[in-house]
Structure 1
């Protein structure tokens, strides 16, 4: 069985490619599609940690996983929240770490402005998105929509056992030996890599500028 790790915010393809360039973790449709395409239908085990992110990117990822020909197994690690919980519903089997956290809530719009018509359209969009997510939750858990809607409205955080009891996961993931990394945080790693890349770009720019000056002086000296 092949293994894939997905970690970071759920974002659009364009944002994800930019974050890749900066060495930041992210989850986006093209990344998931490419990873699965390379497996040629083999069974796959995915470990995922995410705070959530873009609803529409998450919906696209849900469809990509749902339509994969091989068996898909998910291991929930750390925190899986927001639209990340929709993605979990696409897998054939879902296992959760005993120390993981799962959070569901109502969808939100980061920025909304305009007249009454714009507010009504925003409310309609949120209602549509909420119902779409609820349908996936119902299909996965077998719970009634009203109860799930209440859990979303209350921004519910769940322990691993609660996730299993509600039906979002099928069981606990087996503990495996993991290699420990002595680092302060993911942000430290990402920022260090990002700064290193920027420094490399700056140094190249300075070298190119110095070489241009030398060529200019050389040409000037020949006149």
Structure 2
């Protein structure tokens, strides 16, 4: 049986009627969903409820990251769930997606997948006091991520080394992730290797060249946005016509 609730999170119940379920995070971690691949904390929560009483969740991740707080919420939901969670990094788990991956009781990485860890960042405007607060907030967020990585890594990774990896925006191969305790097992390569679209390739500093996707970026507006733009343009055209008529009248 295949169910899809919500649209961007695919759930497949196994034939044995509920003991195991596969879930997929295949795109950006967001607050508001615009694309089928987007995943939000609210949507993930609803999907978990829809699973019912399963004993095993196989979570497949291929995500460039996104919203820190949405990702932390998803991570905590999975940690609190009674099921055994197997995480499979199908292509790439970057930024907050790598934090979500740490929720796994077991983490599996194909030999051609990658895990990227870095310090959180944001875009901010404001006066000096407001910008200092933004920096302090980022430090607090970083502490939460550090605690999550170290909890998974155990004695394979110390805090000093981890902070250095975060400072350098480190792209770990599957074997390197295992060596640092951030994954448990390297498995056979996937047919499709890890890749990033141009949006995220430009956002991150040290993206390996082989990960930059040559595929055309997805459209910047979907049908709903296109309709909003059309409506806005129609109002602008109407206003321009009214102004033209007023000028002609005077």
What's the TM-score once normalised by structure 2's chain length?
A: 0.67
Which of 43, 46, 54 aligns to 2:67? It is 54
Q: CA shift at 1:31, angstroms?
A: 2.0
Q: 1:77 aligns with which of 77, 87, 90?
A: 90
Instruction: Give the structure, 1 or 2, with the largest relative contact order (CA under 8 Å, sep 6 or more).
Output: 1
Q: CA deviation at 1:154?
A: 0.6
Aligned mates of 1:53, 1:192 — CA distance in 2:
17
Decide which of 34, 58, 66 is 2:79's aligned counterpart.
66
The match for 1:145 among 159, 165, 173 is 159
Structure 2: distance between partners of 1:134 and 1:167: 13
Partner of 1:3 in structure 2?
Answer: 22
Structure 2 stretches of 5 or more lacking a match? 1-19, 193-213, 231-250
Partner of 1:162: 176
> In structure 2, which of residues 80, 86, 100 is the aligned counterpart of residue 87 of structure 1?
100
Distance in 1 (CA, whole Å) between partners of 2:49 and 2:217 is: 30
Q: Is the 8 A contact 1:88 1:94 kept in 2?
A: yes
Q: CA deviation at 1:192?
A: 11
**Runs of 4+ residues over 3 Å off in structure 1:** 173-178, 184-188, 191-199
Distance (Å, rounded) in 2 between the aligned partners of 1:177 and 1:147: 33
The reply to whether residue 44 of structure 1 matches residue 63 of structure 2 is: no
For 1:1-223, what aligned pairs fall within 5 Å after superposition? 1-12=20-31, 15-16=32-33, 19=34, 23-42=35-54, 43-110=56-123, 112-142=124-154, 143-174=157-188, 185=215, 187=217, 191=219, 194=222
Q: Partner of 1:107: helix, strand, or coil?
A: coil
Find the aligned partners of 2:125 and 2:40 in 1 and give their Cα distance: 27
TM-score normalised to structure 1 length: 0.75
What's the CA shift for 1:194? 4.0
Partners of 1:44 and 1:70 within 8 A in 2: yes
Please, which runs of 5 or more residues in structure 1 have no aligned partner? Answer: 179-183, 203-223
- Alpha-carbon spacing, 1:152–1:192, altered in 2? closer, same or farther (3 Å): closer
